[in-house]
């Protein structure tokens, strides 16, 4: 009889540890999915800046709209993916924070990126500077949301037993 109890306890412990390992792996995978989205946001933002610079030099802003439309599709698709992700290891607040970040990015595109498409060959340096000033003002909300995300991400990693690497992707 004691052997049977011992074996049952071993099986229970193995099951618990195995489930915990699976949850940790799934939590890391969810983290990496979100980080991948954020890395893409960063790269797309840099690309937009490069395109604006090239457009300004050439006084041809026609290449901005196709890029912006593609960026919006990415945001919409990412938001839809985030909403559809199941809760893993208490990820709800992290996911909601990311969804809010995507919402902020979408608002920035509508408010800050679209006006660049309306620049013309006769647009002045002041016109362009005013648009960059608008981006800088609106970027505060983005920065604040990213700080909130980083804190939630650290808490999520701690709660799920994994450490974040420097680039936050596991």
Residue 13 lies in a domain: no
143 belongs to a structural domain: yes
Q: Assess if residue 147 is contained within a domain.
A: yes
150 closest CA partner among 98, 103, 102: 98
- Domain of 76 in residue numbering reads as 26-159
Each residue's pLDDT expressed in tens, for the chain with a length of 170 residues: 566 665 555 555 444 444 445 588 999 999 999 999 999 999 999 999 999 999 999 999 999 999 999 999 999 999 999 999 999 999 999 999 999 999 999 999 999 999 999 999 999 999 999 999 999 999 999 999 999 999 999 999 999 999 998 654 44
Would 103 be classed as within a structural domain? yes
pLDDT of the residue at 42: 94
Q: How many domains does the chain have?
A: 1
Q: What is the pLDDT of residue 23?
A: 84
Answer yes or no: is 4 within a domain. no
61 occurs within a structural domain: yes
CA 146 to chain centroid: 8
Distances (CA, A) of 70 to 74, 120, 129, 167: 6, 22, 24, 25
């Amino acid at each position: 009889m004691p052997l049977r109890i011992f074996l049952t306890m071993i099986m229970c412990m193995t099951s618990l540890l195995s489930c915990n390992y699976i949850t940790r792996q799934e939590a890391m995978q969810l983290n990496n999915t979100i980080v991948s989205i954020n890395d893409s946001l960063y790269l797309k933002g840099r690309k937009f800046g490069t395109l604006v610079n090239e457009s300004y030099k050439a006084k041809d802003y026609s290449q901005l709209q196709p890029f912006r439309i593609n960026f919006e599709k990415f945001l919409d698709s990412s938001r839809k993916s985030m909403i559809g992700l199941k809760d893993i290891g208490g990820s709800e607040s992290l996911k909601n924070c990311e969804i809010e970040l995507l919402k902020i990015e979408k608002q920035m595109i509508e408010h800050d990126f679209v006006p660049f498409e309306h620049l013309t060959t006769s647009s002045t340096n002041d016109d362009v500077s005013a648009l960059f000033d608008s981006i800088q003002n609106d970027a505060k909300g983005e920065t604040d949301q990213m700080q909130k995300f980083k804190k939630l991400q650290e808490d999520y990693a701690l709660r799920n037993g994994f450490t974040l690497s420097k680039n936050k992707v596991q």
